[in-house]
Amino acid sequence: MVLRKGDFHQPRGGGFGELKLDAISRRFGGLFALDGLSLTIKHGEFIALLGPSGCGKSTALNCLAGLLPLTSGSIWLDDRRIDTMRPEERGFGMIFQNYALFPHMNVRKNVGFGLAMRRMPKDEIRRRVDDAIGLVQLEAHAEKLPGQLSGGQQQRVAIARAIVIEPPVVLMDEPLSNLDAKLRLEMRSEIKRIHHELGRATVYVTHDQEEALSLADRVVVMKDGVAQQIGSPEALYNRPANLDVALFMGYRNVLEGRVDRVDGERVSFQCGALALTGAPQGRIDPGAATAVIRPDEIEIGDGPNRVEGRAETVEYCGRDYLVDFVTDAGARLHARSTERINPGERVCWHVPAERVLVYSVG
């Protein structure tokens, strides 16, 4: 099925109900780059695929775009099966990590390329291209070649080019990873703003958890080709499903030990000479276990799970201090403190039991 002129006149937002990924897998060489990913994306939803390099997130995106074939599984747009379609037939907009702007075409022609491929009438193309260029605020640069634009500007052209064809889904492959920190934050807001204005379903690949949490309606954390957890940013942040997700979400303090006693919603966790009460994540029996704690949830002063220790290194972070301290029991923990602490000082910390997440091991 090749898209024709009539296909453009779709209602705003793309007019589809859901995009369903049904246990999609891709094998190459002997490995599963993607192993049985199932996900249903609703119209207008912003989904982030999050994970370290090699986790399969880019593979999943490329399979969605049609640039890679599936080894098994299927992809459905409402009741139409699309994984057997070629990329030029699917009509998804895609933004590549290096923008992939056509170097021999100016901004206008780049943005209008998808419309030209659909053989739209010239004035219609011009109108839509002007709208899209206006949306990304690049009117002043419309006649320039990509080589004459900065990284951020090229990024915007890539966005305009993908959305002007009014695709049902927009695919973004780590679009901000090549920008410097300040530009990244600006472009992040831009992407959020454009998503609000246009309301198109978006699948966004990133390795940066901050980006994923701030942009997405739902996040899919991936590792080794498998989805580890699919949920809202809050769910991932506060209740990571397993140890891998927790580590990725910034639970920097990792204590390997054992669970002695299970008491309903609480467990007694022992790591060397350190004893803590924690909240079990999933089913836990007494035995080997790992506890994770966020640095910003360790507070100074007295309280449950009181730990005494000596501060070793203190890093000033503007808003607060990042403190590495060693407990009397010998464990090394990272914490954040709003008060200034000097290296070598003895401090006493505590952490609420429900913020000590305990996972069983093995």
Partner 1 sequence: MNTATAALARTDIERRSWREIAWTSLVTALMAFFLINVAGVIASVAVSSFATRWLGTWLPAGFTTRWYASAWDEFQLGDVLTVTLRVVFIVVAISILIGVPAAYALARREFPGKRGAMLLFLLPLMVPPITYGIPLATVLYRLRLGGTESGVILANLVPAVPFVILVMTPFIEQIDVRLEQAARVFGAGTFRVFVHILVPLLAPGILAAGLLVLVRTIALFELTFLTAGPDSQTLVVALYYSVFAAGVRATQSVDAMAVTYMVTTLVWLLIAMRFVNPTQLVTRVKEAPRN
Partner 2 sequence: MTAGSLHDSGFDRTVLLIVPGVLFVLLLFIYPFAYGLFLSFTTTNGGIWANYARFFAEPRFFSTIGITFWIALPATLVNLALAIPMAFKLRRPTSAQRIVTTMLVVPITLGTVLVAEGLLNYLGPQGWFNRLLVDMHLIASPVRLTHNYWGVLLSLVITGFPFAFLLTLSYITGIDPVLAQAASTLGAGPARQFLHIYFPLLAPGLAITFCLAFVQAFSVFPSAVLLGAPAGPTRVISIAAYQAAFEDYDYAMASAVAMIMGLAQLAVVVAVLGLRGFFYRGPAGGAKG
Binding site residues, partner 2, CB under 8 A: 3, 65-67, 86-88, 90-94, 96, 98-104, 113-114, 117-118, 145-147, 149-154, 161-162, 165, 171, 178
Residue among 166, 167, 206 at smallest CA distance from 187: 206
CB of 97 to partner 1, least distance (A): 7
Biggest CA-to-CA distance, the chain: 75
Cα separation, 345 vs 354, whole angstroms: 28
58 binds partner 1 (CB under 8 A): yes
Tokens at 349, concatenated:
């910390």
Query: At what angle are helices 151-163 and 122-135 packed, to 10 degrees?
Result: 130
- 150 binds, options partner 1, partner 2, none, Cβ within 5 to 8 A by partner type: partner 2
Residue listed under structure tokens 């260029």: 133
Q: Give the shortest CB-147-to-partner 1 separation in angstroms.
A: 15
Which partner in partner 1, partner 2, none is near 301 (CB below 5 to 8 A by kind)? none
Contact indicator for 243, 359 with CB cutoff of 8 Å:
yes
Select from partner 1, partner 2, none the partner in contact with residue 118, using the beta carbon and a kind-dependent cut-off of 5 to 8 Å: partner 2
Least separation in angstroms between residue 155's CB and partner 1 is 17
Tell me which of partner 2, partner 1, none is bound by residue 237, counting a contact when its beta carbon lies within the kind-specific cut-off of 5 to 8 angstroms.
none
Q: Containing H/E element for 321?
A: strand 321-327
Alpha-carbon Rg for the chain in angstroms: 24
- Provide the CB-side half-sphere exposure for 266 (13 A, CA): 9
Q: CB 260: neighbour CB atoms within 10 A?
A: 13
> Of partner 1, partner 2, none, which one does residue 232 interact with (CB within 5 to 8 Å by kind)?
none
The residue among 84 and 232 lying less far from partner 1, judged by its C-beta, is: 84
- Asked whether 165 and 193 are in contact (CB, 8 A), the reply is no
Q: Is 66 in the site for partner 1 (CB under 8 A)?
A: yes
Binding partner of 165, given partner 2, partner 1, none, CB within 5-8 angstroms per partner class: partner 2
Residue 101 CB, nearest distance to partner 2 (Å)? 5
Minimum separation from the CB atom of position 151 to partner 2 (A): 4
Question: Segment 170-229, which members bind partner 1 (CB under 8 A)?
Answer: 173
Is 118 strand, coil or helix? coil
User: Of partner 1, partner 2, none, which one sits near residue 114, judging by CB under 5 to 8 A according to partner kind?
Assistant: partner 2
Answer whether 314's CB lies under 8 Å from 321's CB.
Answer: yes
Q: Which two tokens stand for residue 123?
A: 């004035």
Query: Per rule CB under 8 A, is residue 33 in the interface with partner 1?
Result: yes
Find the shortest distance in angstroms from Cβ 223 to partner 1: 15
Residue 92 structure tokens: 């998804």
End-to-end alpha carbon distance in the chain: 49
Contact criterion met (CB below 8 Å) for 22 and 38: yes
Q: Which is nearer to partner 2, 82 or 236 (CB)?
A: 82
- CB of residue 233 to partner 1, shortest distance in Å: 26
| Angstrom distance (rounded) from CA 131 to CA 35 | 40
Residue 92 binds which of partner 2, partner 1, none (CB < 5-8 A, kind-dependent) = partner 2
Taking CB under 8 A as the rule, does residue 67 contact partner 1?
A: yes
Distance CA 294, CA 36 (A): 31
The nearer residue to partner 1, 155 or 290, going by C-beta atoms, is 155
Residue with tokens 């379903």, as numbered in its chain: 201
Structure tokens belonging to residue 87:
């990329």
CA geometry: angle at 243 spanning 242 and 247, to 5°?
Answer: 125
Compute the least distance from the CB of residue 173 to partner 1, in Å: 8
Least distance to partner 2 from the beta carbon of 40, Å?
22
CB closer to partner 1, 67 vs 273: 67
| Binding interface with partner 1 (CB under 8 A) | 28, 33, 54, 58-59, 61-62, 66-69, 84, 86-87, 97, 173
